[in-house]
């Protein structure tokens, strides 16, 4: 079956530090890959996506590259801010015969301090 | 556009009580989904719908029922609530099953079953 594995949190960083959150996946077929972000008390928001191998998704200084050879989609940011504190979810999307279904990782909490 | 809205935002139930969670979207999307979010488990799909009048089971459907009488609304029902259904419930919608499309999430409903 399809699954997503994320590094366990919480991840605590100082402002301006470099961020990496690891994500690997198992899937039958050719999934699209996503990173969602959930700020405290809010729903999930799409952060970035990549739909095929070697694509790079980017948004708000965050980047992730779809690596088919290592089945990975690691999230990176060069300099985090306090406002980046949130829970980050990696997800994959596979079309089935009836509907596209998102499979989520368990989420990684990021805490950025001054 | 309001996007995806959910009613209520928070509810406390006693074991055995029933309730209905309402999801509404104003984007004319065909597909709608109900997820639950539990600590350390990411989001899990409860039920989904591929169009008005249709529903299908997701990963964790037991104890829940759904209805899609109107295209813009997707209702999630708990006939006899149990403490194991304490969770945060998210509704999502998407225009079609193309792998390059993503799901748009509502802000969530926090449910506590005592």
| CA distance to partner chain B, nearest, from residue A61 (Å) | 20
Q: Say whether A44 and B107 touch across the interface (CB within 8 A).
A: no
> pLDDT band for position B75 (50/70/90)?
very high
- On the question of pLDDT at B99 being above 80, the answer is no
Q: Say whether A34 and B102 touch across the interface (CB within 8 A).
A: yes
Q: What is the pLDDT, as a whole number, of residue A113?
A: 96
Q: Say whether A100 and B90 touch across the interface (CB within 8 A).
A: no
Of A43, A44, A101, nearest to B45 by CB-CB distance is A101
> pLDDT band for position B40 (50/70/90)?
confident
Angle at B95 between CA A98 and CA B98, to 5 degrees: 55
Q: Is the peptide bond before B8 cis (omega within 30 degrees of 0)?
A: yes
Q: What is the pLDDT, as a whole number, of residue A98?
A: 63
Report how far residue A66's alpha carbon sits from residue A68's, in angstroms, rounded to the nearest whole number.
6
Name the residue in chain B with its Cα closest to that of A107.
Answer: B42
Q: What is the pLDDT, as a whole number, of residue B37?
A: 92
- Does residue A17 or residue B59 have the better pLDDT? A17
Mean pLDDT of B65-88: 96
Looking at the complex, does the CB of residue B61 fall below 8 Å from at least one CB of chain A? no
Coil, strand or helix at A48: strand
* Residue tagged 């899937």 (tokens): A27
- On the question of pLDDT at B100 being above 60, the answer is no
> pLDDT band for position B114 (50/70/90)?
very high
Tokens of A47: 């952060």
Q: Which of B99, B101, B108 to mutate to test the interface with A (most CBs of A within 10 A)?
A: B99
> pLDDT band for position B111 (50/70/90)?
very high
Torsion of CA B45, B50, B53, B57, to 10 degrees: -30
- On the question of pLDDT at B2 being above 70, the answer is yes
Contacts of B48 in chain A (CB under 8 A): 99, 101
Q: Which of A23, A25, A43 to mutate to test the interface with B (most CBs of B within 10 A)?
A: A43
Instruction: Give the helix/strand (H/E) hosting A37.
Output: strand A32-38
* Residues of chain A with confidence (pLDDT) below 70: 96-100
Q: Which of B10, B31, B103, B109 to mutate to test the interface with A (most CBs of A within 10 A)?
A: B103
């Amino acid at each position: 079956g399809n699954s997503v594995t994320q590094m366990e949190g919480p991840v605590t960083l100082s402002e301006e530090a470099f961020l990496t959150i690891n994500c690997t996946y198992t899937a039958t077929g050719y999934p699209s890959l996503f990173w969602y972000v959930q700020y405290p008390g809010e729903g999930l928001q799409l952060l970035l996506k990549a739909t095929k191998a070697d694509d790079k998704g980017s948004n708000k200084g965050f980047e992730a590259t779809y690596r088919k050879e290592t089945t990975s989609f690691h999230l990176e940011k060069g300099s985090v801010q306090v406002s980046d504190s949130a829970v980050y979810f990696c997800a994959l999307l596979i079309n089935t015969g009836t509907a596209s279904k998102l499979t989520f990782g368990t989420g990684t909490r990021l805490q950025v301090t001054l | 556009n309001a996007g995806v809205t959910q009613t209520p935002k928070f509810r406390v139930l006693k074991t055995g009580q029933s309730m209905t969670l309402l999801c509404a979207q104003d984007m004319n999307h065909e597909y709608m989904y109900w997820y639950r979010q539990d600590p350390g488990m990411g989001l899990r799909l409860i039920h989904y719908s591929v169009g008005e009048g249709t529903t299908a089971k997701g990963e964790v459907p037991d104890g829940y029922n759904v209805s899609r009488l109107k295209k813009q609304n997707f209702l999630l029902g708990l006939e006899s609530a149990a403490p194991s259904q304490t969770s945060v419930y998210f509704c999502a919608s998407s225009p079609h099953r193309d792998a390059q499309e993503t799901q748009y999430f509502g802000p969530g409903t926090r449910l506590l079953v005592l």
